[in-house]
């Protein structure tokens, strides 16, 4: 098999682990997006200090975008239905968590832009 064939196989989830690998990776990225969004939201509301990294909302939205993209990619390339062990339900949960993380990151950016003296 040539290198491009192996890359296609790896993206489709065929060469790396079992069928759940793609949804697990998407889920981990989605949980990171939710965590970053929650921390950024708490920082924007003044519950935490300013911290050394004020761009938490942007990082949460970027991680959320990646999580949603990975979840959709896994759903598009997986075969079988629910209960077959291929990670379809995990990919859907990752998409939902990614959307939540993106919403938290966007809310932080909106709160920061309306706070006087935040720029």
* Domain that includes residue 110, residue range: 18-114
Residue 109: inside a domain: yes
Q: Based on C-alpha coordinates, what's the Rg of the chain? A: 17
CA distances from 72 to 28, 29, 46, 91, 102 (A): 15, 13, 35, 7, 15
Residue 12: inside a domain: no
Write down the mean pLDDT value for the chain: 75
Which pLDDT score is estimated for 18? 64
Residue 52: inside a domain: yes
Residue 23: inside a domain: yes
Average pLDDT (45-63) is 72
Residue 105: inside a domain: yes
**What's the pTM?**
0.71
Residue 3: inside a domain: no
79 confidence band (pLDDT: 50, 70, 90): confident
Residue 76: inside a domain: yes
Total domains, the chain: 1
Residue 33: inside a domain: yes
Q: Is the pLDDT of residue 2 over 70?
A: no
Average pLDDT (56-66) is 86
Burial of 38 (0-12, 13-18, 19+ CB in 10 A): middle
């Amino acid at each position: 098999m040539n290198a491009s064939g192996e890359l296609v196989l790896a993206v489709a989830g065929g060469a790396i682990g079992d069928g759940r690998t793609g949804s697990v990776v998407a889920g981990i990225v989605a949980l990171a997006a939710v965590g970053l969004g929650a921390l950024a939201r708490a920082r924007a509301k003044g519950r935490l200090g300013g911290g050394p990294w004020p761009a938490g909302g942007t990082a949460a939205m970027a991680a959320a975008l990646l999580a949603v993209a990975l979840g959709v990619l896994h759903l598009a390339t997986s075969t079988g239905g629910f209960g077959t062990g291929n990670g379809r339900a995990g990919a859907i949960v990752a998409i939902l968590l990614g959307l939540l993380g993106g919403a938290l990151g966007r809310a932080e950016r909106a709160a920061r832009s309306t706070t006087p003296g935040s720029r």
